[in-house]
A and B are shown apart, each in its own frame.
Chain A
Amino acid sequence: MIRRKLEENFFRILMVLATIVVAGSFFLIVGTIVYKGVPFMNWDMVTKIPGGGFYIGKEGGVLNAIIGSLYVAGGATILGLFISIPVAIYINMYMGGKNLIANTLRIAFDVLFGIPSIVYGAFGFLIMVYFGIRASLLGGIVAVTLLVIPILVRTLDEVLRTVPRELRDASLALGATRWEMSKVILRQIRPGIFTAILLSFGRAIGDVASVLFTAGFSDNIPTSLHQPAATLPLAIFFQLGSPVEEVQGRAYASALILTIVVLLITVLSSLLAKRFSKNNIR
């Protein structure tokens, strides 16, 4: 009896400690960014492009990077969805979801998921060299799209696998074609699509390596797909690397902005997910 009690307590304490470590590091990270970033935060940071020196100046703001990041992450997520939804639907609704090809594809996407983003950056760079495209918004979007497709496909795949078989049978039994049935299923998984968007957007907006060579960097807001675009993570990278202390401080302000953008996207997508799930069966 005593042994069982000891065991129970031991593992409970272990779990509590693990939770404290995770929660503690979360608050430490956010706390550091807020603590070091807030003194350098001002209205100029989010409304102006850099000024007072080439590349990362001491004045102005990082509006170029904010807009650039939204363009790259948003464009890649939208482009990625157009490719991933058909793939996920095809694997699950047309191939039956359980056969050898479907499972091989799943493994392939898992491998792609695990490939470091610098590889996507290098691959995207190769494609750009081949087509003679310079570092630009277009190049960045293409490289990041490649990066997020595995995330989108695997998330949508998992969501599709939770749809009860009877729901598919219900629409098929009414004489629906597979595509008509898939449209019903897509309505059912709309909340899951928003989760996929969130995960993809979060990865896309925070990634440095894939945009390093492909999107380039610029102090200006891109006005066409062929112009180079700044991104927040790269801005932070350059600012932190600066020997000037003031510029280093601005890196934390940029990080704070990046965190807030991700937070806003998270809240927005969970609100939308809720709104679109009112008709769902559970």
Chain B
Amino acid sequence: MTNNPHISIQHLNVEIGNQQILKDISINIPNKKVISIIGPSGCGKTTLLKSFNRLLDDTADVKVTGKVLVDGENIYDPDVEVTHIRKKMGLLSQRPYPLPMSIYDNVAYGPRIHGTRKKTDLDEIVETQLKATGLWNEVKDRLHAPATRLSIGQQQRLCLARGLAVEPEIILGDESTSALDPVSTSIIEDLFIKLKEKYTIVLVTHILRQARRVSDYIIFVYMGKIIEFGPTEELLLNPKEELTKDYVKGFIS
């Protein structure tokens, strides 16, 4: 798709227990685009996403083979520092999970563990990222209130701000709007579109309309394999593979 892919996956296989979840995945994720991963439930979408920042490491009985190159560096290389890989990527999960601390501390958490200590620096990061996610005006008077007092939609934007605060290059979204109301959903979607100027964004979604609204490219996964990968309109309106056609029409779900 592009000459210098941001993430390049080569022959990735993932087994959990005795079950093969991902089968020989090879794909290049282009830089600074929004890419949606679609496919029926249980097809391996989330596992694929989690393989990007090695969150699979924590799963019991997991076996990963193959390579995932981020900026040309194989993240499954035993010499690679896993915290360094994860710092490059912000994760937005299905439901917002704010850390058990204040709004301010949630955003400052990442910079703090990576060594930013000065109060003025932290203040600036918090303000910048809360503004980037459109939360600043809503929370600037109660930065030290518990993050759980925010609405679910606000919490999800806070989690996005928290992820952006470690200056990642990539944002990973795992059905990030599935717990949100329509208004919050559209705020998050608009944020994704705005953020792709600076970040590569990979989203797992089961909502085809959402994939169409926000993404530049779509990956269709079925039974642990990539069936088709292409520009959004092309894949949705003019799929090359029969399986993709059936899924887009709603025959497989």
Contact residues of A with B, CB < 8 Å?
96, 98-99, 164, 166-177, 180, 184, 187-188, 278-282
Contacts and interface: CB of A to CB of B under 8 A. Distances in A.
Given A172-B86, A175-B110, 5 more contacts: A170-B97, A172-B58, A278-B146, A280-B148, A281-B98
Contacts of B163: 173-174
B67 interface: no
A173 B147 contact: no
Contacts of B146: 278-279
A174 B106 CA distance: 11
Contact of A173 (B90, B94, B95): B90
A174 B105 CA distance: 13
Contact of A279 (B91, B94, B102): B102
Contacts of B110: 174-175
A184 B102 CA distance: 12
B7 interface: no
B155 to A, nearest CB: 9
A176 B97 contact: no
A168 B87 contact: no
Contacts of A281: 97-98, 100, 148
Nearest to A278: B146
Nearest to B172: A173
B113 to A, nearest CB: 5
Interface residues of B, number: 33
B29 interface: no
Contact of A188 (B89, B94, B100, B109): B100
Contact of A166 (B83, B95, B172): B95
A169 B109 CA distance: 14
B93 interface: yes
Lowest 4 A-B CB distances belong to which pairs?
A175-B87, A173-B91, A174-B110, A279-B146
Given A98-B60, A172-B58, A177 B89 contact: no
A174 B58 contact: no
Interface string B45-71: 000000001010011100000000000
B142 to A, nearest CB: 13
Contact of B101 (A99, A164, A279, A282): A279
Interface of B: 53, 55, 58-60, 83-84, 86-87, 89-91, 93-95, 97-102, 109-110, 113-114, 146-148, 159, 162-163, 166, 172
A184 B113 CA distance: 12
B83 A176 contact: yes
B102 A167 contact: no
Given A168-B58, A169-B55, A177 B100 contact: no
B60 A174 contact: no
A171 B58 CA distance: 13
B97 A187 contact: no
Contacts of A99: 60
Contact of B60 (A96, A166, A167): A96
B84 A175 contact: yes
A172 B60 contact: no
A282 B102 CA distance: 15
Contacts of B58: 96, 168-169, 172
A173 B146 CA distance: 21
Contacts of A177: 83, 113
Nearest to A168: B58
Nearest to A169: B55
B109 A174 contact: yes
A159 B101 CA distance: 19
Contacts of B60: 96, 98-99
B83 A167 contact: no
B40 to A, nearest CB: 22
Contacts of B95: 166
A171 B91 contact: no
B93 A170 contact: yes
B179 to A, nearest CB: 11
Contacts of A96: 58-60
B87 A164 contact: no
Contacts of A176: 83, 113
Contacts of B113: 174-177, 180
Given A164-B97, A169-B93, A188-B100, A174 B162 contact: yes
Nearest to A280: B100
B149 to A, nearest CB: 9
Nearest to A97: B60
